């Protein structure tokens, strides 16, 4: 048999395009933004080259400049923090204002808002922390008050829905968070608001650049007693199954690159849309490739789709839009 049989289909670009199995679409891509108070602010984030803190006016300009952008994920930077994340659910906090402004200007854009406490708590955890001696905290005893956190997450979700978010995206990894948010939304006449659940969110070192960007580095301990252990994958399916039963519309695997097997299993096992978050550390790692960075990013983002992701959250969104024909 001729050895060139498979190569026949790789002869030129048009032929390769014709037989390609997976192609990125603009509608697959979600761009995250970090929004800050103020006017005309575009401040580089040192841990994430090419990514900026933007004030709302500049956020609107940036979105308008990206042709075919269909969806954004918004994070807000707190102006004051406390133990109970009080600013996280204020209607006039910067995230809520940004959701309102974006929805007003771009009616067709799918606006997703991150629902978490870590950017708003003085201790940097994604949860309400129990009163305990610091040494208990360091030993990793359960310092997380799951129930109290669910109440705050519900308030956050309602405030985002009031501002006009299409989807709220709970990322605190508290048990029962999707159920609590779904009930809160329904009871407040927001049953049309979707939940994009960070279902299989791992305790990952890939988040470090983001934590600097959002100023959410935990001040003691780590997130390992709420985020998942990277040695596990069956557990990811249990998380996803539970979130679907609690009312999630879309489930997410995060990070993406070192977790392509989880994305694959999620897609094979469930019939809901699966999102994948190509997180900050993955972005920086590729960015550091210099002039080959963009072609590498395209390869990597395509591989996330090939593994089974229906939506991909990526800081490369602007570049992806340029590459797509
Ligand atoms: C907060 C949150 C994190 C990310 C998204 N939401 C960080 C964390 O859990 O510490 C990471 C995103 C990224 O790295 O790009 N709950």
**What is the distance between the alpha carbons of residues 82 and 128, in angstroms, rounded to a whole number?**
10
Strand partners, 170: 115
* Spatial contact of 303 and 288, defined as CB atoms under 8 Å apart: no
Contact 305, 28 (CB under 8 A): yes
Helices 177-187, 234-246: crossing angle, 10 deg rounding: 10
Residue 115: what pLDDT? 97
Strands 42-44 vs 52-55: parallel, antiparallel or unpaired: antiparallel
* 34 Cβ closer than 6 Å to some ligand 1 atom: no
The token pair at 320 is 């992806």
pLDDT value of position 314: 98
Question: Is-contact 318 66, C-beta < 8 A?
Answer: yes
Give the separation between CA 63 and CA 69, rounded to whole angstroms. Answer: 7
pLDDT for res 325: 67
Q: Which of 155, 254, 267, 287 is catalytic?
A: 254
The confidence score (pLDDT) of residue 103 equals 98
- Kindly list the averaged pLDDT for each block of 10 residues, start to end, along the chain of length 325: 80 95 97 98 97 98 97 98 97 98 98 97 94 59 88 98 98 97 98 98 97 89 93 98 98 98 98 98 96 95 98 96 85
Where on the phi/psi map is residue 124: left (φ > 0), alpha (ψ -120 to 50), or beta?
left
Collect contacts of 82-86 with beta carbons under 8 A, ≥24 apart.
82/120, 82/121, 82/122, 83/121, 83/122, 83/123, 83/128, 83/129, 84/121, 84/128, 84/152, 85/117, 85/120, 85/121, 85/128, 85/152, 86/120
Ligand 1 pocket, residue 280 CB under 6 Å: yes
> Does 118 sit in the ligand 1 pocket, CB within 6 Å?
yes
Tokens found for residue 293:
């960075």
The Å distance, Cα 323 to ligand 1 centre, comes to 27
User: What is the 8-class DSSP label of residue 166?
Assistant: S
Mutate to test the pocket of ligand 1, among 171, 202, 277, 284 (most ligand atoms within 8 A of CB): 171
DSSP assignment letter at 126: S
- Report the alpha-carbon distance of residue 280 to residue 293 in Å, rounded: 14
Rounded CA-CA distance 231/290 in Å is: 31
Distance separating alpha carbons of residues 95 and 138, to the nearest angstrom: 32
Known catalytic residue at 43: no
- Positive or negative, the CA dihedral 36, 40, 46, 49 is positive
**pTM for this one?**
0.96
């Amino acid at each position: 048999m001729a050895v060139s049989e498979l190569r026949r289909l790789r002869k030129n670009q048009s032929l390769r395009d014709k037989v390609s199995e997976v192609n990125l679409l603009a509608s697959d891509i979600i761009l995250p933004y970090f929004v800050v108070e103020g006017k005309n602010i575009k401040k580089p984030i040192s841990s994430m080259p090419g990514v900026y803190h933007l004030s709302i006016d500049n956020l609107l300009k940036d979105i308008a400049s990206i042709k075919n952008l269909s969806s954004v994920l918004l994070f807000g930077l707190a102006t004051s923090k406390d133990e109970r994340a009080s600013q996280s659910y204020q209607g006039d906090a910067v995230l809520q204002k940004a959701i309102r402004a974006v929805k007003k200007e771009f009616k067709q854009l799918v606006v997703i808002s991150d629902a978490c406490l870590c950017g708003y708590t003085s201790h940097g955890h994604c949860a309400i922390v129990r009163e305990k001696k610091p040494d208990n905290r360091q030993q990793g005893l359960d310092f997380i008050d799951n129930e109290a956190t669910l109440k705050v997450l519900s308030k956050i979700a309602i405030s985002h829905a009031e501002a006009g978010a299409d989807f709220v995206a709970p990322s605190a990894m508290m048990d029962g968070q999707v159920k609590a948010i779904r009930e809160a939304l329904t009871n407040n006449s927001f049953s049309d608001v979707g939940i994009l659940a960070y279902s299989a969110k791992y305790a990952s070192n890939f988040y470090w650049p983001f934590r600097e960007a959002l100023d959410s580095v935990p001040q003691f301990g780590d997130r390992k007693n709420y985020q998942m252990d990277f040695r596990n994958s069956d557990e990811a399916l249990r998380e996803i199954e539970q979130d679907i039963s609690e009312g999630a519309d879309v489930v997410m695997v995060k990070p993406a690159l070192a977790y392509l097997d989880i994305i694959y299993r999620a897609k094979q096992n469930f019939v809901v849309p699966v999102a994948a978050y190509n997180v900050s550390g993955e972005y920086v790692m590729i960015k550091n490739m210099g002039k080959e960075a963009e072609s590498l990013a395209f390869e990597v983002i395509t591989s996330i789709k090939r593994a089974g992701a229906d939506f991909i959250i990526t800081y490369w969104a602007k570049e992806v839009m340029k590459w797509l024909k």
